[in-house]
Amino acid sequence: MTSQPTHPSGGRPTLLRAAGAAYFPIAFVARFPFAMMVVGTLTLVVSARGSIALGGLNSAVVGLGSALIGPLLGAAADRIGQRPVILLSGVVTSLSLIAMSWVAFSSLPDLAVLAVGFVIGASSPQIGPLSRSRLVHLILTRLPSGRRAKSLNATMGYESAADETAFVFGPVVVGALATTMTAAAPMIGAAVLTLVFVTAFALHPTARVSAPAHDEPVTQAPARELRSLRVLVIVAGALGVGLFFGTVLTSLTAFLSEVGRGDSAGLVYGIMGVGSTILALGISLFPEGFSLRWRWLAFSSLMLAAMLAFGLAGGLTGVAAAMAVAGIGIGPTVVTLYSLAAERSPQGRSATVMTMLGSATIVGQSLASAITGGIAERIGAQGAMWLPTAAAALVVLTALVNAFARRTPGATEGVVTGQDQEVQDEAAALVERPVEHL
């Protein structure tokens, strides 16, 4: 029988004590540069080069860089620890953001702009996925087994709410800086935030907790397990979520611009964030019989219904109502995706899987922003407002695949990096049968 974890202070162990009071505000603010970079580079390039097409293409290139390199950064964090990976990527990101502020207004060819955009996406540290990996590790090693299930649910809810807030209000910050200062201000602001808060996140003591021990070999499941249906269907769902964010924000902006209310885009978009945040934080209150696969299907279906209403809405009131309903659906959906990712991460590859989801989300947002902007220019905002319906339909489709596809025999159900088999099995049981541990 394993001993119960204890806290050095001798008090009742909690995740807040295990992580430290400063951890959560640092990790929260450190997410904003990642959420700002797609819209920020789009705004900058359009302003500097006068080409919406180039701006959209650059956003897509940013997403491509994140898709190709982001999972490799996660794999490196699994193998050598988060601290060196985040420190290096944070410095490169800051320098590339500053470089973009200069290159966009320079006489260099458009290819140079695209090259810097790729580096921005490729080097960006995905704080949300890496934070989840740290906190899941702390829950399974520092908290009593009887409280881990609820802590996992609550933590996934909080982390998703934090991501939602960053993705909803990151573009608002970009707009505020670009309109009150210069088009380069969002890039410079993101660079400063990266240097300060991403560095603080890297240096925080929790980075040592999730790092592999140097005197023990790193135990990792084969890389082929990352390509299993059980993992890829979650990544596809995250891609759909990214497409949803990008199509909604861009089509909403186009619609409000057409009706002369373009300055209210951030406010109306923020309506979705209210319900999303509340539901994400309240995910731990859902009944245990409401399993993850059915949550994904139920709340993604609500997203789809809201986007059908969004496409049919002819006025601001209808659009605002659709956004409110969409928020109720998107928050629990994101929480569920990351909860499933925690459950299904192959042993020793938690950070890899989490960054795969983060990369898929930013790729979806980048591509959707570029495509939706082009469609809105060619056929008008009303046509572009049906693209969020397609994005929501993809999330529903992946939920159906997840709900009814057969489980892969022998799939590893590890949740955190570097745990021995006993803890791995316990982690799987906590997610699959939480009621037995309460």
Q: What is the pLDDT of residues 178-218, one digit of tens each?
A: 777 887 888 898 899 999 999 999 898 887 765 554 444 45
Cα–Cα distance between 430 and 434 in angstroms, integer? 5
Q: Which residue in 411, 14, 8, 19 sits closest to 224, CA to CA? A: 411
Show Cβ contacts of residue 347 under 8 Å, excluding neighbours closer than 6 positions: 219, 220, 221, 412, 414, 419, 424
Q: How confident is the model at residue 390 (pLDDT cuts 50, 70, 90)?
A: very high
Mean pLDDT of 369-389: 85
Residue 147 in this model has a pLDDT that exceeds 50: yes
Mean pLDDT of 299-315: 91
Contact indicator for 385, 251 with CB cutoff of 8 Å: yes
Q: Which residue in 324, 171, 337 sits closest to 240, CA to CA? A: 337
Residue 367 in this model has a pLDDT that exceeds 50: yes
Do you know the residue count of the chain?
A: 438
C-alpha dist (Å) from residue 71 to 38, 75, 218, 353, 381? 18, 6, 18, 7, 34
Residue ranges and CATH numbers for the domains of the chain are: 24-432 (1.20.1250.20)
pLDDT tens string 224-248: 656 667 778 888 999 999 899 888 8
Which residue would you say has higher pLDDT here, 323 or 430?
Answer: 323
Q: How confident is the model at residue 262 (pLDDT cuts 50, 70, 90)?
A: low
Residue 426 in this model has a pLDDT that exceeds 50: no
Range scoring the smallest mean pLDDT among 78-82, 114-118, 272-276, 386-390: 272-276
Which residue would you say has higher pLDDT here, 183 or 108?
Answer: 108
Cα–Cα distance between 372 and 381 in angstroms, integer? 9
Burial of 149 (0-12, 13-18, 19+ CB in 10 A): buried
Return the pLDDT at 421: 40
Residue 71 tokens read as 């999972």
> The whole model's pTM is what?
0.67
**What is the identity of the amino acid at 174?**
V
Show Cβ contacts of residue 246 under 8 Å, excluding neighbours closer than 6 positions: 38, 364, 365, 366, 367, 368, 369, 372, 391
Helix axes 265-281 and 229-258, enclosed angle (nearest 10): 150
Range scoring the smallest mean pLDDT among 53-67, 116-130, 311-325: 53-67
Q: How confident is the model at residue 348 (pLDDT cuts 50, 70, 90)?
A: low
Cα–Cα distance between 148 and 212 in angstroms, integer? 22
Contact indicator for 19, 142 with CB cutoff of 8 Å: no
